Amino acid sequence: MSTDTPHFKAVIFDLDGTLLNTLPDLVVVTNTALEQAGMPPRTQDEILGFVGNGVKSLISQAVPEGTSAEELKQVYNSWCAIHHEMGTRLTQPFPHVVEALDELQAMGVALGVLSNKFDDGVQEVIGQYLPGYFAVIHGESADIPRKPDPTGLLRTIDELGLEPTECIYVGDSPNDIRTAKAAGAFGVAVAWGYHPVEDFSAPDVQPHLIVNDPRELAWLIKNE
């Protein structure tokens, strides 16, 4: 990489589809909520197409066309209650994520998480599967709007005590790249997530880099 490339001091990650494969649990929880409302279930591929913009967006796409706002709210509330009760029993880190985090941490790189998942869910799942790695963790909340609004990423960077040019934001969706660009961070897309690499072909969502393995992030920082 060129000598004028900024020195990266932090890597901030999206969560679902980037660090953790939460899709199996999302399928079970979503279909349970739909079943309780008397609505037809969705396939895994359908639910995969609905994720990436938060739970409310997922539910609004999963319910049948013509569902009223009140019914939508009821399904959303059921989803949250079921998620809290069932937990994330089927969730797992993607291959080599833990090794990559270990290496980055050993290098002294600051680590953070910014997700469109509701904040309580983010804190819970990180605490369960990837505890002790991240200095800053944020999900959607009253103060953190959903991506691609860059507010959450800029706040995360500020809380790490860094500038956007010193940070890499890693995600599996086009909105993650839009967020990185809007914040002035280095945007990295992952090839193992919920979106195919073809989704990153449009000019506004082209990442600085696409990685095929989480361990490439340490290589990126060492060889910048």
In this predicted structure, the answer to whether residue 30 has a pLDDT above a threshold of 50 is yes
Q: Are residues 105 and 203 in the same domain?
A: yes
**Tally of domains in the chain:** 2
Is the residue at 102 inside a domain? yes
Q: What is the pTM of this model?
A: 0.89
Q: Is 92 helix (H, G, I), strand (E, B) or coil?
A: strand
- The answer to the question of residue 62 being in a domain is yes
Q: 218 and 115 in one domain?
A: yes
199 flagged as catalytic: no
Asked if residue 108 and residue 138 are part of one domain, the reply reads yes
- 13 touches 100 (CB < 8 A): no
pLDDT at 99 over 70: yes
- Choose, from 14, 16, 25, 172, the residue flagged as catalytic: 14
| pLDDT band (50, 70, 90) for residue 64 | very high
Please indicate, yes or no, if residue 2 is contained in any of the structural domains: no
Cβ proximity of 140 and 158 under 8 Å: no
CB within 8 Å of 150: residues ≥ 6 apart: 179, 182, 183
- Interval 171-221: pLDDT, tens: 999 999 999 999 999 999 999 999 999 999 999 999 999 999 999 999 999
If phi > 0 it is left, if psi is from -120 to 50 it is alpha, else beta; for residue 20 that is: beta
Same domain, 75 and 110: no
Decide if 104 is inside a domain: yes
Could you report the per-residue pLDDT of 103-156, keeping only the tens digit for each? Answer: 999 999 999 999 998 898 899 999 999 999 999 999 999 999 999 999 999 999
The answer as to whether 196 is a domain residue is: yes
Task: Assess if residue 135 is contained within a domain.
Answer: yes
Asked if residue 16 and residue 28 are part of one domain, the reply reads no
